[in-house]
Structure 1
Amino acid sequence: MDVQGGLRRAVSAASGHGVTAAYLTGWRAVRLLPEPAARATFDRIADGIHARDGRSVQRLRANLARTVPADDLDATVRAGVRSYLRYWCESFRLPSWDIDDVVARTRVRGEERLRGPVSAGRGVVAALPHMGNWDWAGAWACATGMPVTTVAERLEPTRLYDEFVAFRAGLGMEILPLTGGPPPLRRLIDAVREGRLVCLLADRDLSRGGVDVDLLGEPARMPRGPAVLARATGVDLVPVTLAYRGRDLELTFHPPVPHAPGDDGIVAMMQGVADAFSAGIAADPVDWHMMQKVFVADLAPRPPRPSRDGA
């Protein structure tokens, strides 16, 4: 059986939003390979994706250009695509990992910023960028006594979304759909009050109601949800950044962002998150897997708000 050849075709399709069958084939095939062989296969796939220089790679390059010098940019993008495919490799393999191995390979900085409040029965809102492997981070949190609730963008077709939910639920996480179900805010509030760790990806606004902040020295649009939730429940808003360290994953829990009142306070709180993200991304740009538009200069203009008289 040509596991590596089939895996290469499957993952290339999956990483390009291909058919569900291709994704599921890759998910199962990768578990048949030893980790070094799987990683080497995914590196080759990544190099092929980088060489084709499609729209996702071009977008990654444009985003990373905000923090990486021009002379280093192409090498960083190539390594960034490899890091992104590493995320896929690990996500395919995570359901078969020994949870003790997941914990042993997780390095943590500032853990007390989560552990203290959760141990006291208070929830925490953690805001994360698309860095490293957030599924791994969620598995680590659940395995070490911090149950996770999060929100996932609903994928099409439905079976693919269902597979993702089942995968993450198998790691111990509670997954709420962003759309196609009850608005998630009510359940997120309850989860915080139950003492759960609510993890929200926060470097890309999917609501069209986000706030403009400074990210990497340039205006960018981020969701307001993490700040709204933390302020509504009175719990800490903790930015988290992630980076690979050899075979390990390092999680950095930054100092909590101070609460502030009013709509300007929401912007200020998300700017605090953006400041932590900027520091983490600048330190480890290779591990920022942002292949969508986040900077205001790249986004379509917001539609004008209707006037008060409806004109």
Structure 2
Amino acid sequence: MSAFSEQRQLWLYSTGWTAVQNMPERAAYRSFRAIADLSWRRRSPSVRRLELNLARVGKYEPEELRELTRLGARSYMRYWCDAFRMSEWSHERIIERVRVVNEDRFRSAMASGRGVVVALPHMGNWDWAGAWACLTGAPLATVAERLRPEKLYERFVTYREALGMTVHPLGGNGVMSDLAEHLRRGGLVCLPAERDLSRRGVPVTLFGEPTRMPAGSAMLALRTGAALLPATLAYEGREPDHSLAVTFHEEIEVPEERGDRLATMTQRIADAFETGIARNPEDWHMTQRMFLADLDADDPRRAQPVLP
């Protein structure tokens, strides 16, 4: 990306962020819904990719899949409107509009003092779920992919830190050690965990198709003895009066067999994600390639992975 392009992108994000914050709430969400519908009608590249991924979730008639994709595009744009406006939300709003399923699993794991790794797919609004955790006694550490320009990345980091999170750069030196130390102090680590098509991703099956997922969640649990909990998210209600449902799935135990524990635990994360995504597919915001079958035939990432 050229310096001019980077500055243009920064200006667009910053201007849009400020404008959305200053709009009346209903008008802001209505505008983002209109953007989603326009993108859906024009079948933008991200909408086409979303549709291909959603087609794996269930057996849909063409009209059903098309409508599901429209709802998915709306959910994704709702997330972005949330992101631009959440810094203005009160703590009461953040907490009171979260409905938690199986919260006892999360609280019991936190109370054990051994740390908790929560693995999440790109569903609903994970920033909101993270803010809820921080505001209810579980400050978390996470990672964020570096964006360009750097100032845009810094703005997103500042936004998440304002919600109470500690943010480490993805792939930075010592990140895994820092997260492990946070867990050993009894802390919470939350990691996006359903897409890693690099050759270092762990092979899993999702919706009956091969893909790869990041090793980080299971690896941290194995290294530190922390509890490993998958969680899935879904929106409820119509914006701007919407809320967020957070479901904690069963804790993933370390297999007794000393074989490939990392692969087994990562597959169990995939199984939990499959259940949550199938329940609320419209809130799965996967607008990138997800499955190995969607890679080009000569793509080297189709080859045997290089496991960590």
| TM-score (norm: length of structure 1) | 0.89
Q: Which residue of 1 aligns with 2:279?
A: 283
1: CA distance between counterparts of 2:259 and 2:22? Answer: 51
5 Å matches for 1:114-263?
114-179=106-171, 181-205=172-196, 208-246=199-237, 247-260=242-255, 262=258
5 Å matches for 1:72-87?
72-87=64-79
Deviating more after overlay: 125-134 vs 26-35: 26-35
2: CA distance between counterparts of 1:238 and 1:214? Answer: 19
1: CA distance between counterparts of 2:301 and 2:77? Answer: 33
Quote the offset at 1:207 in angstroms. 5.1
2: CA distance between counterparts of 1:75 and 1:274? Answer: 25
Letter in 2 for 1:128: L
Q: Which runs of 4+ in 1 moved over 4 A?
A: 303-306
5+ residue gaps, structure 2: 1-7
Asked whether the 8 Å contact 2:116–2:187 carries over to 1, the reply is yes
Letter in 2 for 1:266: L
Count of paired positions: 289
Letter in 1 for 2:246: L
Letter in 1 for 2:291: F
Distance change >3 Å, CA 28–CA 205, structure 1 → 2: same
Alignment counterpart, residue 47 of structure 2, candidates 57, 63, 69 = 57
Q: Which residue of 2 aligns with 1:14?
A: none
Alignment counterpart, residue 88 of structure 2, candidates 75, 92, 96 = 96
Letter in 2 for 1:89: C
2: CA distance between counterparts of 1:73 and 1:304? Answer: 31
Asked whether the 8 Å contact 1:109–1:253 carries over to 2, the reply is yes
| TM-score (norm: length of structure 2) | 0.89
Give the secondary structure class of the aligned counterpart of 1:302.
helix
Deviating more after overlay: 272-281 vs 107-116: 107-116
Asked whether the 8 Å contact 2:197–2:290 carries over to 1, the reply is no
Give the secondary structure class of the aligned counterpart of 2:190.
strand
Asked whether the 8 Å contact 2:201–2:215 carries over to 1, the reply is yes
2: CA distance between counterparts of 1:286 and 1:202? Answer: 18
2: CA distance between counterparts of 1:263 and 1:60? Answer: 35
Distance change >3 Å, CA 137–CA 282, structure 1 → 2: same
Q: Which residue of 1 aligns with 2:100?
A: 108
User: Which is bigger in relative contact order (C-alpha 8 A, separation at least 6)?
Assistant: 2
Letter in 2 for 1:226: S
Letter in 1 for 2:220: L
Letter in 1 for 2:45: R
2: CA distance between counterparts of 1:117 and 1:213? Answer: 26
Q: Which residue of 1 aligns with 2:266?
A: 270
2: CA distance between counterparts of 1:141 and 1:298? Answer: 35
Distance change >3 Å, CA 204–CA 20, structure 1 → 2: same
2: CA distance between counterparts of 1:225 and 1:207? Answer: 13
5+ residue gaps, structure 1: 1-17, 307-311
Asked whether the 8 Å contact 1:216–1:282 carries over to 2, the reply is no
Distance change >3 Å, CA 262–CA 208, structure 1 → 2: farther
Quote the offset at 1:122 in angstroms. 2.6
Letter in 1 for 2:254: H
Asked whether the 8 Å contact 1:222–1:294 carries over to 2, the reply is no
Among the aligned pairs, what percent are the same residue?
51
Quote the offset at 1:305 in angstroms. 7.3
2: CA distance between counterparts of 1:35 and 1:251? Answer: 24
Asked whether the 8 Å contact 1:30–1:38 carries over to 2, the reply is yes
Quote the offset at 1:127 in angstroms. 0.3
Quote the offset at 1:120 in angstroms. 3.8
Asked whether the 8 Å contact 1:129–1:201 carries over to 2, the reply is yes
1: CA distance between counterparts of 2:198 and 2:51? Answer: 24
